[in-house]
Chain A
Amino acid sequence: GENVEQHPSTLSVQEGDSAVIKCTYSDSASNYFPWYKQELGKRPQLIIDIRSNVGEKKDQRIAVTLNKTAKHFSLHITETQPEDSAVYFCAASKGAGSYQLTFGKGTKLSVIP
């Protein structure tokens, strides 16, 4: 089955700096890679996603890159703000066309004012 590894588990950055979170996946047939953000005490919410036929996607200060050959994808947050502090989860579809996602273990991002 699919296995998703996420690094680092914790990350602290100064406000205004960039943050990068990396994930690797095992199933080369996976074709959908979403990222979820979970603020303290709240439910996870989708912030960005990428499909396997795209190498990069940007949405304002957030970008995701995908390297299918190496089977890894990354979340990039630029100009970090205190409200970016949260736990971020990467996920990968369980093979092509699957309804299921396998989630990474999460990265706790702290943005220091």
Chain B
Amino acid sequence: DVKVTQSSRYLVKRTGEKVFLECVQDMDHENMFWYRQDPGLGLRLIYFSYDVKMKEKGDIPEGYSVSREKKERFSLILESASTNQTSMYLCASKLGGTYNEQFFGPGTRLTVL
């Protein structure tokens, strides 16, 4: 049974703070993803990683960076949090290749005040 976990379910931060969101998967998946989910906008890809230390920008990378030092862990970093980054953040992982299912984590609801 695939398990994708995220470090926090709810997080409240102040404008300008550096924020770390962590995602861990236990199924040896090559690919990992960070999305943000906003009402009426669906799931938008921020960054993804196809292997350790490898990363690619998604559709909305501005204001974010990522780190993948170990295969099971993918971190999303907000260098200087802003109020427009208040959102639900979802991590996902999958085996390499086009046709494999993405397994999502439970999400982190981030509020930036």
Contact = CB atoms under 8 A, between A and B. Distances in A.
Given A44-B90, A99-B48, A31 B43 contact: no
B1 to A, nearest CB: 13
Given A43-B90, A43-B106, A99 B101 contact: no
A97 B97 CA distance: 7
Interface string B78-113: 000000000000100010111101101111000000
A100 B100 CA distance: 11
B31 interface: yes
Nearest to A105: B42
Contacts of A99: 31, 48, 50, 94, 96-98
A3 to B, nearest CB: 10
Contacts of B31: 99
B109 to A, nearest CB: 10
Interface of B: 31, 33, 35, 40-45, 48, 50, 58-59, 90, 94, 96-99, 101-102, 104-107
Interface of A: 1, 6, 9, 31-32, 34, 42-46, 49, 51, 89, 93, 96-106
